[in-house]
Amino acid sequence: MPTLIPPVNALDHATGAEHATIELVEYGDFQCPYCREAFFIVKELQQQLGDKLRFIFRNFPLSEAHEYAMDAALAAEAAALQQQFWPMHDALYNRQSDLDETLLVTLATELGLDLHKFSNDMDTPRLLSKVEADFESGVRSGVNGTPTFYVNGKRYDGDYQDLASFLVR
């Protein structure tokens, strides 16, 4: 069974209680329609499980298949530098059908980001390296499509629609 490489660490975007019993990691692509479906499922899980769940998101943009996937990943990372990763993550999935370069700026504006810093950050090689490092870690961890989930470090091979029943056993 493939395991998460590297384990969750300080570079990750994590939300939920630090010592939660369930650590759920998603490798996702902001333009992938299946990831959007999974986004709503994870939202419900967060409501349902509260402090028992810690959720971590890593980038796995399929940039050849999805025109804006890489830019969206960079936008989320740029927002993270202004402590707004999760609001951007949520906004990207909520408005996925409108995703293009304009939407990224619109969302940054709506989130009250410093736009000058945001667009500079999106172009820095450091951010690209972060996204590529996520991608490569995904490949190492056995990601074979998006979304792929890991529960407490082990790849979850079931259907993401059944995540709730798997976690709430």
Q: Are 78 and 128 in contact (CB under 8 A)?
A: no
53 or 73: CB nearest other proteins:
73
| Dihedral Cα 136, 161, 90, 101, nearest 10 deg | 60
21 or 129: CB nearest other proteins:
129
Q: CA–CA separation, 58 vs 54, rounded Å?
A: 13
CB of 2 to other proteins, least distance (A): 6
- List residues binding other proteins (CB under 8 A): 2, 29, 32-34, 62-65, 135-136, 139-146
CB of 52 to other proteins, least distance (A): 29
CB of 139 to other proteins, least distance (A): 5
CB of 32 to other proteins, least distance (A): 6
SS3 of residue 27 by DSSP:
strand
Neighbours of 154 (CB within 10 A): 12
Q: CA–CA separation, 74 vs 26, rounded Å?
A: 17
SS3 of residue 139 by DSSP:
helix
34 or 166: CB nearest other proteins:
34
5 or 105: CB nearest other proteins:
5
27 or 118: CB nearest other proteins:
27
CB of 107 to other proteins, least distance (A): 23
**What's the chain's Rg over C-alpha atoms?**
15
- Token pair of 52 as six digits: 């028992």
Phi, psi at 154, each rounded to 5° = -110, 140
